[in-house]
Chain A
């Protein structure tokens, strides 16, 4: 009978204002503060606050027998610090119970790994520092943006000192193996890969309130029976935190379900573990060879949600192309503004996919169309480059006058 490992993702992007051409060079504020605060408020009321309250109570009631993990992006932590300190506090209280593990991720919820090793390391380090600062914990397991994963990312996680790394159990790379075991990536010695159980996770994240689903309505007991009858060491239930109360609305009975799930699992004879506990408890005796990049997004489960069309490809390439120049001017505000442009959602909104995936993309987009998303993003980038150039010129001027001073000093010495 496998254990159950629950990890929930908490993230909110910084949506941009409709940044039209006339703002370039004139308007240095890119984010739609009103909308970002509004959406955070909405999600806080529907999900974060009631779900935190519920989980805190459950964690206390079960005295360590119910455990879970959260991954909280740097972006949403910043938003909470700015707009809703009370919500951040409720997360802090939840984590203070000692039964909630925090995972590491890229601070900006970015695709940095795909584009720059150095920027990736910088962002993971930033996130570790932030988590330590805000929650006083040190993550041991790494979760890359949207579960973007391949062998290289596992190896990188190992080099960076992580004990575990999270991935999507994508059928085409699983070769018929079960996701309910821990795996070892080729060319790694120590780090273990935890694979999301897609079926059981999506039962909760997507299908729960679907009245056309043959298993509707899902009860905690029924779900627990599926878990205990699964093979393997541990069933990984990984999903967005917002699926509790936001993607799955309150009136679907989602809170009542989660309220009863911890006990139902324990009743059925299984136990709850966090990702790092799973890493400690179980051997990774099998190899999971994932050469091509996978993710948990869209039907393709690859990078196509963010890099599937030419607009996305250009936008993301152009942000990363600025890396060297931005970091060279050593202006913390400029660096932060630039890095926020790397948040994966910006590119997600530029997707022109149709079908079910297309409607998921458009559910989340703040813009009238992916073309508008692209236009505003590129205009912002143009403005950012103007600021970058001004910063460079300032630095050059400073360097030139410093050089002149040096020259004068050496000349006067000669004299």
Chain B
């Protein structure tokens, strides 16, 4: 069989990166490029970015002239009913905050809606502003229009779209080219904004998954949500766990005698920082020789500081604010227990990174990574008593600690991007035959 040709649609991509999505896209792309011919389209790529094994195309680097030949060959599909799109979108909020009409569609005789010609201005929009700025909604729509045209210039067998920001583009590409669509769900609106979240992003996620030939959630936990919450046919849902790139783990001696329990992540409801505080107050009641560190920032920071003060935890419950990678590693190198009480965590790469530093993890059952780190101690995110007990046990029972760390080490060895790529390859083969 010939090598498959894959067109991947991504959003952030190293070195232009905001969160875990970019890391995962790069990791998977690298591993996949051993087995398939791969082109990755993203809204913006760094001019100097050059990757062995696959081609990265940023719309910020495309010219209007390149698209000229396909302008007349394409018409709107997904947007036929769209009259307006919301901008000023915050994916962590339930509702789009304002709505503005960007472009009015012209109805040609016979009901056909022509795709407007790509303008320089459209392409320029990918060069400026933030990838997740207030015009995220507009960028998502523009990306899908241009990516669809660009796809018509490419030869490929399957299109693979990562997360809701590229789902519209994926559907457009499928409709324009007739190639099968695989969508990859790294995080859903269910995780970010709760089970009741509805709105534009939710609709796009559902639409993308419905139109897709296969859906890849990053864990079985997320696969459950895809089926039960989004109503997607379980037959086309194939979970694939993320891999983890090896990190240079090191150890630092703490400057203080107390044990250190770490929470790392955005301070949003999804990550459960309030539960971490509840856990801390229970552990401290039993064992005052512990320091709890909250590394990260977000809308929960100030309420969390105030609650900590109200509970009298200050002095043992610390806030570092946002930390760069280097500082995060410094912190990991002195951490005794990693705690991830996420309310809904599709995967949770940071727990794997912590494991590489030999840190035992206490994680919520609502975390995908629990399927990978089989030895990690788990509890429901709301079961703070049990979480606290796990932490107390790990801090006092060396045998347990060693067992958890040893198991994590074994689990880590199986968690490679190569293993993930092979599973994805199987899915490609299934949708192309």
Interchain CB contact (< 8 A) of A20 among B256, B310, B320? B320
Contact yes or no, B256 A25, CB < 8 A: yes
> Which residues of A in the span 214-248 have a Cβ within 8 Å of any Cβ on B?
none
A371→B309 CA distance, assembly (Å):
11
Q: Which has the most chain A C-beta neighbours within 10 Å: B256, B301, B327, B330?
A: B256
B254 adjacent to chain A (CB < 8 Å): yes
Interchain CB contact (< 8 A) of A374 among B291, B293, B309, B320? B309
Contact yes or no, A371 B315, CB < 8 A: no
B389 adjacent to chain A (CB < 8 Å): no
Residues of A near B293 (CB, < 8 A) are 21
A375→B294 CA distance, assembly (Å):
12
B306 adjacent to chain A (CB < 8 Å): yes
The segment out of A262-270, A359-367, A378-386 that lies at the interface is A378-386
Contact yes or no, A21 B256, CB < 8 A: no
A26→B253 CA distance, assembly (Å):
11
Residues of A near B319 (CB, < 8 A) are 21, 375
Residues of A near B331 (CB, < 8 A) are 22
Interface string of A311-329 (1 = CB under 8 A from B): 1011101100000000000
Contact yes or no, B314 A374, CB < 8 A: yes
Residues of B near A175 (CB, < 8 A) are none
Q: B319's closest neighbor in chain A, by CB?
A: A375
A21→B319 CA distance, assembly (Å):
7
Q: B293's closest neighbor in chain A, by CB?
A: A21
Residues of A near B310 (CB, < 8 A) are 310, 314
Contact yes or no, B314 A314, CB < 8 A: yes
Size class of the contact patch on chain B = 20 to 34
Interface string of A365-396 (1 = CB under 8 A from B): 00000010011001101100110010000000
Contact yes or no, A386 B302, CB < 8 A: no
Residues of A near B312 (CB, < 8 A) are 314, 317-318
Residues of B near A314 (CB, < 8 A) are 309-310, 312, 314
A318-B315 contact given A311-B306, A371-B305, A386-B257, CB 8 Å threshold: yes
Contact yes or no, B309 A22, CB < 8 A: no
Q: B316's closest neighbor in chain A, by CB?
A: A382
Q: B306's closest neighbor in chain A, by CB?
A: A310
A24 adjacent to chain B (CB < 8 Å): yes
Residues of A near B320 (CB, < 8 A) are 20-22
Contact yes or no, A385 B315, CB < 8 A: yes
Contact yes or no, A386 B256, CB < 8 A: yes
A309 adjacent to chain B (CB < 8 Å): yes
B252 → A minimal CB distance (Å): 10
Residues of A near B254 (CB, < 8 A) are 25
Contact yes or no, A24 B305, CB < 8 A: no
Contact yes or no, B314 A378, CB < 8 A: yes
Residues of B near A25 (CB, < 8 A) are 254-256
Contact yes or no, B315 A378, CB < 8 A: yes
Residues of A near B305 (CB, < 8 A) are 311, 371, 374-375
B287 → A minimal CB distance (Å): 16
A315-B314 contact given A309-B306, A371-B302, CB 8 Å threshold: yes
A375→B302 CA distance, assembly (Å):
11
Q: B314's closest neighbor in chain A, by CB?
A: A378
A22→B255 CA distance, assembly (Å):
9
> Which residues of B in the span 240-265 have a Cβ within 8 Å of any Cβ on A?
254-257
Interface string of B288-306 (1 = CB under 8 A from A): 0001010000000110011
Q: A377's closest neighbor in chain B, by CB?
A: B314
Residues of B near A389 (CB, < 8 A) are 257
Q: B295's closest neighbor in chain A, by CB?
A: A21
A147 → B minimal CB distance (Å): 27
B114 adjacent to chain A (CB < 8 Å): no
Q: Which has the most chain B C-beta neighbours within 10 Å: A26, A378, A386?
A: A378
Interchain CB contact (< 8 A) of A311 among B301, B309, B321, B330? B309
Residues of B near A378 (CB, < 8 A) are 314-315, 318
Contact yes or no, B301 A22, CB < 8 A: no
A24-B255 contact given A314-B312, A375-B319, A379-B318, CB 8 Å threshold: yes
A385→B256 CA distance, assembly (Å):
10
Residues of B near A379 (CB, < 8 A) are 318
> Which residues of B in the span 306-357 have a Cβ within 8 Å of any Cβ on A?
306, 309-310, 312, 314-316, 318-321, 327, 330-331
Q: B255's closest neighbor in chain A, by CB?
A: A25
A386→B255 CA distance, assembly (Å):
10
Q: A379's closest neighbor in chain B, by CB?
A: B318
A313→B305 CA distance, assembly (Å):
13
B114 → A minimal CB distance (Å): 52
Residues of B near A385 (CB, < 8 A) are 315
A371→B305 CA distance, assembly (Å):
7
A385→B254 CA distance, assembly (Å):
16
Residues of B near A24 (CB, < 8 A) are 255-256, 291, 318
Residues of A near B309 (CB, < 8 A) are 309-311, 313-315, 374
Of all A-B residue pairs in the complex, the 5 with the closest CB atoms, nearest first, are A25-B255, A25-B256, A26-B255, A314-B309, A378-B314
30 A-B contacts (beta carbon < 8 Å): A20-B320, A20-B321, A21-B320, A22-B320, A24-B291, A24-B318, A25-B254, A25-B255, A26-B255, A309-B306, A309-B309, A310-B309, A311-B306, A311-B309, A314-B312, A314-B314, A315-B309, A371-B302, A371-B305, A374-B305, A374-B309, A375-B305, A378-B318, A381-B314, A381-B315, A382-B256, A382-B291, A382-B315, A386-B256, A389-B257
Binding site for B on A (CB under 8 A): 20-22, 24-26, 309-311, 313-315, 317-318, 371, 374-375, 378-379, 381-382, 385-386, 389
